[in-house]
Structure 1
Amino acid sequence: MEELNNVEVQSPEVGQIVKGVVTKVEEKQVIIEIENCKFTGIIPISELSSLHVEKASDIVGENDQLDLKVIKVEEESLILSKRAVDADLAWESLEDKFESKEVFNAEIKDVVKGGLVVDLGVRGFIPASLVETYFVEDFSEYKGKTLSLIVVEIDKEKNRVILSHRAVVEKEQVEKKQELLDSIQAGDVLEGTVQRLTNFGAFVDIGGIDGLVHISQLSHTHVDKPSDVVEEGQKVSVKVLSVDRDNERISLSIKETLPGPFEAMKEKVKAGDVIEGEVKRLVSFGAFVEIFPGVEGLVHISQISHKHIGTPHEVLEEGQTVKVKVLDINSEEQRISLSIRELEESPNASEEDYIRFQSQDEPSGFQLGEMIGDQLNKLK
């Protein structure tokens, strides 16, 4: 009894912070036993949290020890607030976080029109535009999810706390982008995803930064438009051609990661084969014929016809489809020798000799009869 008499019985005042233990949780209120106090404490459900609460048991349970603020003194009870104590602590913490741009995690408690709500001791709001770096149509799946956030706006007088997850993501992207720029080198082969197509090429995400694959670097063959070769979202291998760290520009190539057309051609074409091709270019010394996508071989002027011709234009034209025989494939120099003449019927010997004689640029010093002898007499 002497010990009990020495315990001072408090008569709390409005605004005072008291300690209490939960003795009963009802649907719309919580009953509290306050230390050294003859009054019963009551926490209305509206004073449990800064957010809407359906059931008091969602916030506290029996025997929980709480710090509470007295908001009203009645005859035999005190009306207490857990929300007010949490808010006082929260504002100080949030102001520190705002000044330092600290990143912290919080659980999404509710999805409302225009954004998301978190409980930080005070109500924190994440506008829809500050949730992600991309457009989100439906936020319902975010409830209960934990997001990394920073405070972007705070006003205690207006009870306003604006948060952003997007800013955290953007900061991480910038850091990752810089790290990637510092680490990649020309010659690296990386995996990427085609992000968007333009008329001059394709932008490929290589892990936080986009690089450009110019249209000329999409394929070994001619490309009219990038969409003929790649599509948005496609996974591709790319080779780094150059890195401009000052301007954050990266040049990439898909073509450089693919087998060259000559290598692919070698697996399907060999010397002696007869194949069709398209005359691509005519030059003074012969014709270049495409016999495989991106691979051209030379038909020397001497291999165009058995008859003497002054220029290839006399018997061929660009775009013409011709049959050619593969004479030789030089893998080291990536050169292919072709012949059209080999596929034509050969004239008789006397005509060949006569043609060969006629095609000489300089007089040989021999008479016609001396060169072809009896063969010429037979012609006569």
Structure 2
Amino acid sequence: MVLNSSGSEENTLPETGSGFQSDQAAPAPSDEVIVVSEESSAEAPESIVADSVEAVSAEVDAPSTEAAPSEESAPAPAGTPAEAPSAFKRGDIVEAMITETTPTSIKVDLDGKAVGTIRSSEIDRINKRDLENLQVGKKVAVYVVNPRDQEGSAVVSINLAAEEQDWKSAEEYRQNQQAYDTRIAGYNRGGLIVKFGRLRGFVPQSQMNAERRRATEDETPEQRWGKMVNEPIVVKVMEVDRDRNRLILSERMASKESREKRKESLITQLKQGEERTGRVVSLEDFGAFVDIGGAEGLVHLTELSWQHVNHPREVLKVGEETRVRIISIDPEAKRIGLSIKQLAADPWDIVATTYSPGQLVQGTVTKLTKFGAFAQVVDLPEIEGLIHISELSDRRVNHPKEVVNEGDKLTLRIVKIDIKNRRLGLSLRRVNSAEYLDIDWTTDTTQAAQPAAAPEAAAPANNEPEAPAPESESGAEE
């Protein structure tokens, strides 16, 4: 369009309110003629005339016919120079070269297309060692925060570039289901916070391994997990959501794989008969699993104690430390057999040296079966003997409950001792039998019923001797 000094043409400059703020004066008439082509109006900003500001002419190829300015081609603020579009956009990761370093900023060359600035606010957060490595000529990856600031240069960040790389790495770990070794950085009410490169991932309480979950019995997070900060932890990536800044990790998923690797390594070092200190990690109906330094071994129910044990919780607690002996190693199946009772004195040694057939003892009935009743020797609770059903009474007995009940304390006579097979035969009906009058006459009954006490070091026993055949029925079996 063409404007003359009088502004009398049909298409004049916008008046106050159409292109300027309400508190600005309308542009003063100008003698200079500004020509803008329709072809160039979509590419370059249009110039306006303002008080005390020189008019800026747009480059054109040819003059155009007169046309009223549209809303899309509204004039830019006075004095704004024409700018070429940036070669980069926000969020780009660019390999840059450091060209200048000062205490307050670092200048980088963005592939020869722009100059980037790392501002002082970020430099202050870089640790001293990394900062010393940022020398002129060094190449670094930077994240484009702003392609062009008010000074015309790009604002870039080294830290954000590293974080973006960590997000990509986290996604790769998730896809490959690879375990990641890191450390616990903190905690909150719901779980643990761990480091993943420069990122912070979250391990919910439900995704911790069994040992850590057992520590959640305390009331506050400080009591639960405060002492775990800086401890090593192995995790797998469960979820990566960059938009929500969400990184969820699981220790439980990584635990099985980690345990297997540790077990393979440990099995090659173990020797049968070796003693170790371990920690009870879980209790099952069939035994207890004990961690002996990176791998778990099984203490079978029968290896917990010399005394009869119905469930491991009767003698052990989760988290408790205990000494164990390695009794079996299976490298192919990756199994380790452990024993606690073998570290204690064998109570059958006391039976062999202290008791004899015909001797009277005190016993407590512990269990009834169809073939008899088991009784625990009062003065040696690690030992249980069997009162065969035929040894309960002189009359016919269909079931032991007709004669005795669990918990009954009885005077019993030893009728059989089998040290090799660890069996002790007891009798109720022969307590007053005439065949033992000579033994009862020559031996003080009280001393016979109270044999020498077992050493304090003796551990409980786990024995359920099979039913011995009564002396009058040598062929009877359980």
TM superposition score normalised by structure 1: 0.51
Q: Does 1:67 align with 2:141?
A: yes
Q: Conserved in 2, the CA contact under 8 Å of 1:203 and 1:213?
A: yes
Q: CA deviation at 1:44?
A: 5.3
Are residues 1:118 and 2:195 paired?
yes
Assess, with a 3 A threshold, how the Cα gap between structure 1 residues 213 and 190 changes in structure 2: closer, same or farther.
farther
Of 56, 60, 67, the residue aligned with 2:125 is 56
Confirm or deny that 1:89 pairs with 2:165. yes
Give the match for residue 235 of structure 1.
Answer: 322
For the pair 1:31 / 2:100, whether they are aligned, the reply is no
Provide the rounded CA distance (Å) in 2 between the counterparts of 1:39 and 1:218. 73
For 2:266 and 2:174, locate their aligned partners in 1 and report how far apart those are by CA, in whole Å: 29
Q: Distance in 1 between matches of 2:187 and 2:166?
A: 21
Identity of aligned residues (%): 16
Residues 212 and 18 of structure 1: CA distance in aligned 2, closer, same or farther (over 3 Å): closer
Alignment of 1:289-368 (within 5 A): 293=380, 294=383, 321=411, 340-342=437-439, 344=441
Question: Any conservation in 1 of the 2:114–2:154 contact (CA below 8 Å)?
Answer: no
Supply the RMSD in Å over aligned alpha carbons.
5.8
Q: Which amino acid aligns with 1:34?
A: V
> 1:220/1:120 Cα in 2 relative to 1: closer, same or farther (>3 Å)?
closer
Take 1:228 and 1:43, find their aligned partners in 2: how far apart are those partners?
65
**Which of 209, 215, 238 does residue 152 from structure 1 map onto?**
238
Distance in 1 (CA, whole Å) between partners of 2:419 and 2:233 is 58
Instruction: Show the counterpart of 1:264.
Output: 350
Q: Which residue of 2 aligns with 1:284?
A: none
Work out whether residues 21 and 64 of structure 1, in 8 Å CA contact, stay in contact via their aligned partners in 2: no
**Whole-angstrom CA distance in 1 between matches of 2:231 and 2:291:** 28
8 Å CA contact 1:124–1:160 kept in 2: the answer is: no
**Displacement after TM superposition at 1:116 (Å):** 1.0
Aligned partner letter, 1:93 = S
C-alpha displacement at 1:249, in angstroms? 11
Aligned 8 A contact 2:325 2:340 in 1: yes
Contact 1:22 1:62 in 2 (8 A): no
Query: How far did 1:31 drift?
Result: 0.4
Shift of 1:79: 2.0
Work out which of the residue numbers 162, 171, 174 in structure 1 matches 2:248. Answer: 162
1:20 deviation in Å? 1.7
Instruction: Name 2:203's counterpart in structure 1.
Output: 127
The alpha-carbon deviation at position 80 of structure 1 amounts to 1.9
2:96 maps to which of 18, 38, 49: 18
Cα distance in 2 between the residues matched to 1:172 and 1:162: 19
The aligned residue for residue 277 of structure 1 is 361
Cα deviations across residues 73-111 of structure 1 (Å, max 9, x unaligned)? 332654222234324433433332222122233455554
Rounded Cα–Cα distance in structure 2 between residues aligned with 1:74 and 1:116: 39
**Alignment deviations for residues 165-201 of structure 1 (CA, whole Å, 9 cap, x no partner):** 33222332356679999xx9xx989866555668x77
SS in 2 for 1:167: helix
Distance (whole Å) between structure 2 residues aligned to residue 218 and residue 63 of structure 1:
59
SS of the equivalent of 2:151 reads coil
Per-residue CA deviations over 1:263-309 (Å, capped at 9, x if unaligned) read 22344x388xx98633899xxxxxx9969633879xxxxxxxxxxxx
Aligned to 1:149, the other structure's residue is in SS state strand
Q: Which residue of 1 aligns with 2:175?
A: 99
Where does the alignment leave 5 or more consecutive residues of structure 1 unmatched? 1-10, 49-54, 282-287, 298-310, 346-380
> Any idea what the Cα deviations from partners look like across 1:282-340, whole Å, max 9, x if unmatched?
xxxxxx9969633879xxxxxxxxxxxxx79xxxx99665999xxx9997898999954
- Contact residue 290 and residue 299 of structure 2 kept, 8 A: no
Count of equivalent residues? 292
Q: SS at 1:56's partner residue? A: coil
Structure 1 pair 31–109 and aligned structure 2 pair: CA distance change class (3 A): farther
Q: 1:339 to 1:222 in 2, by over 3 A?
A: farther
